[in-house]
A and B are shown apart, each in its own frame.
Chain A
């Protein structure tokens, strides 16, 4: 089945700086890659996603890039703000015969230092 690796597990940046979180996946047939944000004590929420026919997608201060050849995708947050502090999960939706559903990375705890 699909395997998603996510790095780093913890990322601390100064407010206003950029943050980058990277993920790799194993199933070359995967074609949908969402990112979820989970604030402390709250539910995960979808913040951005990308499909395999697109290389980059932006939404205000966040962007996601996808390299299908290398099987990795990244989340970029610019001009970080205190409310960006949360755990971020990348995920991949496989198309293989195995019924894995949405496979998540183990998460990145993003800390925004004032």
Chain B
């Protein structure tokens, strides 16, 4: 079974731009969660999608948004990028919602200049 796939793996943007990251979950998994990983803050929860609906949302500004498609693939978007948005964005899938047993992708490393 293929693992969680995230694209792109690396990207560089400038302040004020926007970015869209993509995540394909493990086949059969209907929940997709997104996390921001930074050296100082560890793993911070962004949001979770299950059956195309946002089920949970972390404490991030409205510039961070996401969606999930009928095939469970998910995208997250960050608008008006700031320097502090530089991070590794990890996607994780699980069979059910609000599961602590997550299967992570390799992540998308975003650098904002």
With the chains together, A89 CA to B89 CA distance in Å?
16
Cβ-defined contact, B90 with A49, below 8 A: no
Cβ-defined contact, A43 with B101, below 8 A: no
Cβ-defined contact, B42 with A102, below 8 A: no
| A91 on interface, CB distance cutoff 8 Å | yes
- Our count of residue pairs bridging A and B at CB distance below 8 angstroms stands at 60
Across the interface, A49 reaches (CB within 8 A) one of B33, B56, B57, B101, namely B101
With the chains together, A46 CA to B33 CA distance in Å?
15
CB-contacts of B57-113 with A (<8 A) = 57-59, 90, 98-102, 104-107
Cβ-defined contact, B43 with A89, below 8 A: yes
With the chains together, A40 CA to B60 CA distance in Å?
26
7 closest Cβ contacts across the A-B interface? Answer: A99-B56, A106-B42, A104-B43, A101-B45, A43-B104, A93-B100, A32-B100
Seen from chain A, the residues whose Cβ lies within 8 Å of a Cβ on chain B are 1, 32-34, 36, 42-46, 49, 89, 91, 93, 99-107
